[in-house]
Structure 1
Amino acid sequence: MSAEMPARSDLRERTRQAVRAELVTVAWELFVRQGYDATTVDEIAAAVGMSQRSFFRYFSSKEDIVLGKFQAFGEILADALAKRPGEEDAWTALRRALDWFVGGSERDPRYGLELLRLTDQTPALKARRLEQQTHWQELLAPHVATRLDPPATGANDLRPAALAGAALACMNVANAAWVAGDGNQSLGRLIDEAMRAVRPSAF
């Protein structure tokens, strides 16, 4: 019985994740087709054959469908930074950690363009996206601290948060230019340009 129960729990979790993924896919199709504000929770739920009540078992709001992506992005970025070679300085490691975003966007720019346009055009989502990025800064700062010379000296040392925040600001500037160019420019090159504006000798 004890071995059977964890297996059932794993199956339930896999089923839950599959349903969440389907809801995200369907919701994005509706957002892109008819706009975020014009899309209701009822429509999203109906499109996958469930009730509104069932929808709320998986997401607390339609905002969470969009913003859940940004929470995951921050965790992936922090993990990418933690895995960079130890000999890289903090600024270079931050730039290389952003390659995860660059790779996906340059292989298929459509999703990234849709995500950024949607959040830029919806004030509530844009505010929440910036709020999420403040959390990203908090996730990145400890990994930046280990790469500083001289080493960071604790909570009163502003360098880790300042560098993480500056890198994210450069990413935002590059993203804006990339969206304005309809994804036809290299996002990696734009991030390089933005980050070299802060540190001209970098990479």
Structure 2
Amino acid sequence: MRAEVSAIATRLFAEQGCDNTTVEQIAAEAGLSRTTFFRYFGTKEDAVLTCLDDLGPGLAAALSDRPADEHPWTSLRRAFDVITGLNGDAPGKSLAFHRLVEENPTMRTRHREKQQGWEELLVPLVAARLGGDVPPGRDPGPRALVASAVACLNVSMQTWVSCDGAVSRDALLDRAMSVLTE
């Protein structure tokens, strides 16, 4: 049901814009009441961004699966393959999604909030990789690495959209992340 409602919301947002689409419209097309819609989603934006909730655990698993002796920055880059590989056979779908997010300030804000949830999952994993004797939460290093990596991801996706997918997401992310280590 969540996937069906998400598809309807995504279509309506693409056709009408986020601001011009109401929860009532989404619910009516899905055959739901407004109350039922809010049992599934916290906001109308969440109906489109629900896919991001599942990415956090996938990113954490990908990071955990990286070699223990690999530098955390490299491990974060490789963990993001989970994202750059999405819709690899249908990049137009990802382009449309990112355009939809970028075109609306509310969507961008909600997208970033969901990414902060990813960061909360990734920071302890990076902290463990860095080791050291600083008590958890007292070292800004792990959070700085994760936040910087997510910023690189965002910039590379924005660039990918602006060039209409002419350059691969992986190449753009590699460039964005490597410029910080040059």
TM-score when scaled to structure 2?
0.90
Point out the structure with max Rg over C-alpha.
1
| Over 3 Å off, 4+ runs | none
- Alignment of 1:35 with 2:17, yes or no, is yes
Residue-pair matches, total: 181
Question: One-letter code of the match for 1:29?
Answer: R
The equivalent residue for 2:40 is 58
2:97 aligned residue (102, 115, 120): 115
RMSD: 1.8
* Structure 1 Cα separation of the partners of residues 123 and 171 of structure 2: 24
**Structure 2 regions of 5+ residues with no counterpart?**
none
Percent of aligned pairs with the same amino acid: 43
Q: Is the 1:82–1:143 Cα contact (8 Å) retained in structure 2?
A: yes
Contact 1:152 1:160 in 2 (8 A): no
Q: Deviations over 1:132-184 (max 9, x none)?
A: 22232221111111222x53622222211111111111111101100101122
- What does residue 132 of structure 2 align with? 151
Q: Tell me the distance in 1 between the aligned counterparts of 2:146 and 2:87.
A: 21
Corresponding residue of 1:16: none
Equivalence for 2:64 = 82
The alignment's TM-score, normalised by the length of structure 1, stands at: 0.81
Contact 1:105 1:187 in 2 (8 A): no
Match of 2:53 among 55, 71, 92: 71
Question: Where does residue 21 of structure 1 map in the other structure?
Answer: 3
Structure 2 letter corresponding to 1:144: V
Q: CA deviation at 1:105?
A: 4.2
Measured in 2, the distance between the counterparts of 1:165 and 1:91 equals 11
Whichever residue aligns with residue 47 of structure 1, its letter is E
Alignment match, 1:128: 110
Match of 1:141 among 111, 123, 140: 123
Question: Take 1:152 and 1:44, find their aligned partners in 2: how far apart are those partners?
Answer: 51
Distance of 1:57 and 1:143 partners within structure 2: 32
Counterpart AA for 2:73:
W
Q: What does 1:99-110 align with in structure 2 at a 5 Å threshold?
A: 99-110=81-92
Residue type at the aligned position of 1:153? V
Change (3 A) 1:88 1:152: farther
Match of 2:142 among 145, 155, 160: 160
Cα deviations by residue, 1:78-101 (Å, 9 ceiling, x for unpaired): 221112122321011101000011
Give the counterpart of 1:194 among 176, 179, 182. 176
Alpha-carbon separation, structure 2, partners of 1:193 and 1:58: 38
- 2: CA distance between counterparts of 1:188 and 1:95? 9
Contact persistence 1:106–1:187 (CA under 8 A): no
Tell me the amino acid that sits aligned with residue 66 of structure 2.
Answer: R
